[in-house]
Amino acid sequence: MNNTSQNSQTIAEKLADHFKALAYDTLSDASRTAIKRLLLDYLGVAVSGSQTESGKVAGMFAASTGGRAESTLIGGTERVPAMLAAFANAISSHSVELDDIDVLALFHFSPPVYSAALSTAEQKSASGKELLVSLAAGCEMMERLSKAANPSLRDRGYHTTPTCGTFGATIAAAKMLGLSAEQIVSALGLAGAQSCGLMEMYGPSMQKRFNPGPASRNGVTAASIAQLGFTGAATIFEGERGFLAAFTDQSFPEQLTRDLAQPYRLDIEFKPYSCARPIHNAIDCALEIRGKHSPDLDQIEHIGMARHPDWAHYHQNADPATYHEAQVSLPYSVAVALADGQALFAQYNNARLKEPLLKKLASLVSFSVDESLPRGVSCLMTVKMRGGAEYSAQIDYPKGSIQNPMTDEELRAKFDSLVIPVLGVERAAAIADRVATIEHCGNVRELMSLLQRGQGAGAARGGEKIDA
């Protein structure tokens, strides 16, 4: 505890004391399980994402800058400085739109937090138990700040994953590096100096994939330089020109320190479909109608999509030019779900965007606002057929949500589908086994060495995933 009384402490000082005291034995069983499930999911998504255009460019950038071989480029062949591994791996893990999501569909935990924690864990030869604590701390920090800043932060045009993720990555790295409470305060201040990320990212470019990269790298930077004695502002959250004042019109600072003495509940949701999470409800609607009614797609006259006001005006592009755009297009996602019965990365392929049936179905989607829908991501879909028949479905909790979860078997199947094409069957099994017992791992490098191509038995021979 800092020398000042609890009442006179800043928010950063209270958080620093809290996270400094966090230890493996203080984590609840539920948190340990959630963190390990997300670790498996993150690694699978990052391996697959490393083989995309954006993942490859990020890896090339990290490898081209030189420096100490400290941390693994997931899905690559190089080891690079920890900050650059965090940067590139965060981009890879956000490049196939299959990374985790919070319950409000505002941000992704793993790209900034897990990338920062794993890169610093390798740098310090940390144990699996230390890794789990670091991951739990980073995720908690990120979600607390999102709750304090949203929805205003999002509505003002800031992207929650990088803006809040910088702080999550900072706490994850600070725990891994063993910072004192005073150093953690400084690291949080320096995280605020580097927090960034705009929602002006939708379109044909790779920009959305880029956003978690600086957040993860900046978190490692903030913790590392604070460890060396660089000091930061203790009032970074509530100050007159602090994070909440700068990034929001309305904030809830009490969320940052609410119930610090209680075990933190991490609600992490997983994505079965390769697109933006608020679109998943619409995909589930399409799959329900397809499964129940098998509509003749050529006879569909109109597809009405009622959405909650929180997300009603997003994801409306009906004519995506690249797969990057398609992954944030609700009309295309509904079309491919109706046509294929799934919406995996293979469906978001540049070659498919001009298919006449998909273009026609996407053009039939119209949007409306329905304030009566119970959740921000809720969707009510109505399909009108020639001849007068109508089919409807409403989804409030999409597959992968807390209320409609993916099972361990489904998560493993997702992991295998992403990793086997890149690293092979034996390697995928070895990674999954190591994650399952990560708390008994003496050095996280043992896990990370399995994530490189061309290392050890079972690696795929010349069989990289093809770019979309």
Return the residue matching tokens 């491919």: 336
Q: Is the dihedral of CA 281, 411, 35, 211 positive or negative?
A: negative
246 and 282 assigned to the same domain: no
Write down the pLDDT at residue 304. 98
Helix (H) or strand (E) segment spanning residue 57: helix 53-64
Write down the pLDDT at residue 455. 61
The residue from 372, 395, 418 where one domain ends is: 395
Write down the pLDDT at residue 392. 98
- Give every CB contact of residue 376 below 8 A, 6+ residues apart in sequence: 104, 105, 278, 308, 310, 311
Write down the pLDDT at residue 315. 95
Mean pLDDT for all residues in the chain: 94
Q: At what angle do helices 160-177 and 181-194 cross, to 10 degrees?
A: 150
Where is average pLDDT lowest: 125-129, 141-145, 310-314, 355-359?
310-314
The residue from 395, 429, 445 where one domain ends is: 395
Return the residue matching tokens 């900034």: 112
Buried/exposed code over 322-361 (b: 16+ C-beta within 10 A; e: otherwise):
bbbbbbbbbbbbbbbbbbeeebbbebbeeebbeeeebbeb
Q: Any idea what the CATH number is for the domain that residue 350 is in?
A: 3.30.1330.120
Give the model's confidence band at 352: pLDDT under 50 very low, under 70 low, under 90 confident, else very high.
very high
189 and 336 assigned to the same domain: no
85 and 11 assigned to the same domain: yes
Alpha carbons within 13 angstroms on the beta-carbon side of residue 444 total 25
CA distance 172 to 454: 29
312 and 227 assigned to the same domain: no
Q: Using alpha carbons, list the distances in angstroms from residue 445 to 61, 79, 82, 431, 457.
A: 22, 11, 13, 12, 17
Whether the predicted pLDDT of 457 surpasses 50 = no
Give the model's confidence band at 54: pLDDT under 50 very low, under 70 low, under 90 confident, else very high.
very high
Q: Is residue 224 part of a domain?
A: yes
- Tell me the mean pLDDT in the region 182-201: 97
73 and 198 assigned to the same domain: yes
- 3-class DSSP state for residue 391? strand
Whether the predicted pLDDT of 202 surpasses 90 = no
β-pairing, 300-307 with 365-369?
Answer: parallel
Q: Is residue 18 part of a domain?
A: yes
Write down the pLDDT at residue 458. 40
Contact 226, 186 (CB under 8 A): yes
Whether the predicted pLDDT of 2 surpasses 70 = no
8-state DSSP, 269: B
- Tell me the mean pLDDT in the region 384-394: 97
Bond prior to 151 in cis (omega within 30° of 0): yes
Contact 109, 268 (CB under 8 A): yes
Q: Is residue 428 part of a domain?
A: no
CA distance 85 to 120: 9
CA distance 347 to 32: 34
Give the model's confidence band at 420: pLDDT under 50 very low, under 70 low, under 90 confident, else very high.
very high
Phi, psi torsion values for 300, nearest 5 degrees = -75, 130
Give the model's confidence band at 303: pLDDT under 50 very low, under 70 low, under 90 confident, else very high.
very high
242 and 287 assigned to the same domain: no
Q: Is residue 270 part of a domain?
A: no
Write down the pLDDT at residue 461. 35
- Tell me the mean pLDDT in the region 398-411: 96
- Tell me the mean pLDDT in the region 401-418: 96
Give the model's confidence band at 465: pLDDT under 50 very low, under 70 low, under 90 confident, else very high.
very low
Return the residue matching tokens 């000091």: 231
Give the model's confidence band at 243: pLDDT under 50 very low, under 70 low, under 90 confident, else very high.
very high
Write down the pLDDT at residue 459. 42
203 and 309 assigned to the same domain: no
197 and 135 assigned to the same domain: yes
If one counts the domains in the chain, the total is 2
Whether the predicted pLDDT of 463 surpasses 70 = no
220 and 365 assigned to the same domain: no
Q: Any idea what the CATH number is for the domain that residue 130 is in?
A: 1.10.4100.10
Q: Is residue 420 part of a domain?
A: no
The residue from 395, 430, 451 where one domain ends is: 395
CA distance 314 to 331: 11
Residue type, 267: D
**Residues of the chain with pLDDT > 70: what percent?**
96
Q: Is residue 80 part of a domain?
A: yes
Instruction: Domain of residue 109: give its range.
Output: 6-256
Whether the predicted pLDDT of 4 surpasses 70 = no
Q: Is residue 84 part of a domain?
A: yes
251 and 310 assigned to the same domain: no
The string of DSSP codes covering 179-216 is: --HHHHHHHHHHHHHH---BSTT-SSSSHHHHTHHHHH
- Overall pTM surpassing 0.85 (yes/no): yes
388 and 356 assigned to the same domain: yes
230 and 126 assigned to the same domain: yes
**Residues of the chain with pLDDT > 90: what percent?**
93
Task: Report pLDDT digits (tens) over 110-157.
Answer: 999 999 999 999 999 999 999 999 999 999 999 999 999 999 999 999
Q: Which of 170, 156, 163, 239 is nearest to 195 (CA)?
A: 163
Give the model's confidence band at 346: pLDDT under 50 very low, under 70 low, under 90 confident, else very high.
confident
Q: Is residue 425 part of a domain?
A: no
- Tell me the mean pLDDT in the region 53-63: 97
Kindly provide the residue ranges of all beta strands, DSSP E only, lying in 289-396, ordered along the sequence.
Answer: 300-307, 365-369, 379-385, 390-395
